[in-house]
Chain A
Amino acid sequence: MWILHWQGPGSGCVTIQYSTLVGVCLLLSTPTPTMRLPAEVTDHIFSFLRKDTLALKACSKAHPLYSRLAERYLYAHIVIDPRAPEVCNLILENPRLLDYPRSLEIRSFLNFTRNPLPISIMPMIPRMANLVSLCISYPCPYHQRDEFISTLRNCLQRSSFQKLRLSDIYDLPFSILDDAKNIKQLTLSGGTVDEDEPVSSSPSAQLSLETLVLSGHLDADVYRWAMRWVARLTTLELHDLWLDQDWNVFPELLAACSNSLTKLQLDTDRSCM
């Protein structure tokens, strides 16, 4: 299968088979005056390898120039996971990498040990100028909650990413989302509202969503908070619906976005399927 067809100014067409892409890069790993490709061509070739991390890593080891060119694809989608802390440490130690991430996922798993990774990486997020999407899943044990919430609040106020997904975050003070004025798409999956924080009845002056995705088991107060943000909502998706949810609040949510909603999706709990 031929996958690359490139025509540069004053040059002929270049067509390269995918299976030979990595080979081409490695062959040119010691560029000579007669074999050196322009950096923009090499960059274009690397763009086809963006989903092939192993190939990109192999290319990046072949030559310092390729290492720099491959970085923007290697670090476009970053996962911070306590089982692989080296990625987090690499970013913390190399601030130039902060320009590359377009999506960042911070994930953890249920345990009771202190997990410093989410807390340490989140202050760096406002410096990720090209970040589009942030996903945070069960970030830390309960005894770190206050520290996490404080860091998340600061992150939301100062960042410019447009997609936010929060999964399995419990006792979250939802008022911190009011300040996330750049977010166009919000996904809430599981989790609960901080019971000590009353739901404000007035619409949020800042957050004005275009897409809201509610997934899994969410308590009714999550829906009540969501009503404050949906005045301009065009797409509402409800995934993994559960029978034992308090559905009485659902008609109110529809009414709150009735002036703008053009797409509605209802999916039942797929684990039942």
Chain B
Amino acid sequence: MLSQIYIFLIDYTNVTLSVLLHLKEFSISALVTTTATESEWALPEIIRLVNTAPAVQDVFLQFHCHVSDSITSLGRLNWSLLDDLQSNYTGKRPRIDLCVTGEGTLGPTFSSESILDALAESEALMNLVKQGQVILRSERTWGY
């Protein structure tokens, strides 16, 4: 559902950020579902949208897990797509603040540490973190 919103917004309405010449910060949220292939929908669309912003410096991505099974999906996401973020006319690649949140009501096993452990399985993502291109955080949230 959430991924469909971005596909609809970005593909069907041809939304781009190209007209926003002064845009410095871009924030976007999406859901990590239990099905990795479905979750992967959102990331390519988001990357495509960010790459249309001519001067963006900071990109804040929030991915939210609301069921326990979605943690295991995290490591399977194709995080190397974040490496596709291109340099814009400022000559710099935007900084990526990646925050994965999990529903705190799911119990103590669903913790910030377990989220980070799941993400650590993605070698591509860890490489981006080591290179300083991605700042990685995780938080437990208590209901929306």
Contact = CB atoms under 8 A, between A and B. Distances in A.
A53 interface: no
Contact of A254 (B12, B15, B29): B15
Given A243-B5, A254-B19, A273 B64 contact: yes
Interface string A90-118: 00000000000000000000000000000
Contact of A264 (B4, B6, B23, B31): B23
A241 B28 contact: no
A268 B27 contact: no
A272 B15 contact: no
Nearest to A242: B5
B5 A255 contact: no
A264 B17 contact: yes
B20 A261 contact: yes
A6 interface: no
Contact of B13 (A247, A258, A267, A268): A247
B106 interface: no
Given A243-B1, A251-B15, A263 B23 contact: yes
Interface residues of A, number: 25
Interface string B36-64: 00000000000000000000000010101
Interface string A210-243: 0000000000000000000000000000000111
A261 B8 contact: no
A17 interface: no
Given A241-B5, A247-B8, A271-B144, A260 B15 contact: no
B144 A270 contact: yes
A250 interface: yes
Given A251-B14, A268-B2, A273 B31 contact: yes
A94 B115 CA distance: 53
Nearest to B9: A247
Contacts of B15: 247, 250-251, 254
Contact of B1 (A262, A263, A272): A272
B23 A273 contact: no
Contact of A272 (B9, B23, B26, B31): B31
Contact of A258 (B5, B20, B66): B20
A261 B53 CA distance: 12
A264 B14 contact: no
Contacts of A265: 26-28, 60
Given A248-B13, A258-B20, A267 B29 contact: yes
Contacts of B64: 273
Interface string B78-116: 000000000000000000000000000000000000000
A254 B66 CA distance: 31
Contacts of A250: 9, 13, 15
A263 to B, nearest CB: 4
A266 interface: yes
Contact of B28 (A248, A266, A270): A266
A259 interface: yes
B135 interface: no
Contacts of B144: 270-271, 273
B139 to A, nearest CB: 14
Which 7 residue pairs across A and B have the least CB separation, nearest first? Answer: A270-B144, A265-B27, A258-B19, A268-B2, A263-B25, A267-B29, A247-B13
Interface of B: 1-2, 4-6, 8-9, 12-17, 19-31, 60, 62, 64, 66, 144
Given A254-B17, A264-B20, 17 more contacts: A247-B8, A247-B15, A250-B9, A254-B15, A255-B19, A258-B21, A263-B25, A266-B9, A267-B28, A268-B5, A268-B29, A269-B1, A269-B5, A272-B2, A273-B2, A273-B31, A273-B66
11 contacts: A243-B4, A247-B12, A254-B19, A259-B22, A261-B23, A262-B23, A263-B26, A264-B17, A266-B29, A267-B28, A273-B144
